[in-house]
Structure 1
Amino acid sequence: MTESFETGGPVWTKGQARIVRLSGLAGIIGGILLIVVAIVAWVMVTSQLRAEQITIPDDAMAFQGQIVDGPIDAFIQADIINHHALEMTDGKTYAQLDQDDPTRAVVMNASFLRASLFTSVISYGLAAFAAGAGVLFILFGWSMRTIVPPLPKQATA
């Protein structure tokens, strides 16, 4: 017969209780790891952006004169690069320019820079998402371990 114990709520077999508590512990550990990885990713992207020493120009919508070192800064810098590129080409994008247009190479570089900056914005978003998921994992794991209290100690002979 399977040995069970009561928790004030449902009756759990020792095997069921052990699985739920181990799953909760795995959730807590996984959540902590997600948060740590998110912080590492955030710090790495920030340090790489700072190392580029990109200064937001005076005609940007915000943060003029500041070094790009975060998701909002990167988005604003990408926006002003696009604005400058469109000004150079009278509103034409890279694909709309003739192949022999002398500004095509500059607009192509602007497009590459924007893509790189948007990649950092997405990286920040994923890091924030991972940290948020990590917090949820910790909360769910803690809840699972709270629902099923520790197994009763076995008497030793």
Structure 2
Amino acid sequence: MPAGKARAARLIGFLGILAGIVLILGGGIVWGMVSSQLAAEKITVSEDAAFLAGADVRGPLTAFAQADIINHHALAASDGKTYAELEQDDPVRATMMNASFLRASLFTSVVSFGVAAFAIGLGLVIGAIGWVLTVLVPRQVIARD
């Protein structure tokens, strides 16, 4: 391999490692921030939830479990009707609206956890590719040319 191409490959490898580290750190920071914000709300998954009943809401699964049981409770209160299906003057409509907002907030945190996990995974892959490039083109090869 010519020295110029070897230098370029090695540089891309180092940039890949650096990008991987940034993505892993960024994803970890976002995961931690979302988790701490959920924990600060002191939400507990309802005892009648389908799964994770009684657990503190601080991660994607507990947030999903609580959003699911909120929907169940709201539909029970409205006889199975959604917010849009209720008459505008129906007093249950406010309950459905609040339930919808709570569920949307919890689902937003679930999506945030997913994006953070994606960033961490992508960081691992890009960092590994960068490491492979630096290993395949050792410094001695560039120095000999």
* TM-score normalised over the length of structure 1: 0.88
Corresponding residue pairs, total = 143
Q: Tell me, in whole angstroms, the C-alpha distance in 1 between the residues paired with 2:62 and 2:44.
A: 9
Q: Tell me, in whole angstroms, the C-alpha distance in 1 between the residues paired with 2:58 and 2:124.
A: 25
- The 4+ residue runs of structure 1 with deviation greater than 6 A are none
Match for residue 134 of structure 1 among 115, 123, 140: 123
Match for residue 106 of structure 1 among 90, 95, 100: 95
Aligned-pair CA distance for 1:40: 0.3
Aligned-pair CA distance for 1:64: 1.9
Aligned-pair CA distance for 1:55: 1.3
* Partner residue in 2 for 1:143: 132
Aligned-pair CA distance for 1:111: 0.3
Q: Tell me, in whole angstroms, the C-alpha distance in 2 between the residues paired with 1:34 and 1:53.
A: 29
Matched, 1:74 2:67: no
> Gaps (5+ residues) in structure 1?
1-11
1:90-148 Cα offsets, whole Å, 9 max, x none, are 10000101000001011001001000000000111111111000000111001111221
Aligned-pair CA distance for 1:153: 6.5
**Paired residue secondary structure (1:65):** coil
* Partner residue in 2 for 1:14: 3
Deviates more, 1:144-153 or 1:64-73: 144-153
Considering only CA atoms, is the larger Rg found in Structure 1 or Structure 2? 1
Which structure carries more relative contact order (alpha carbon 8 Å, separation 6+)? 2
Higher helix share: 2
Q: Percent identity?
A: 55
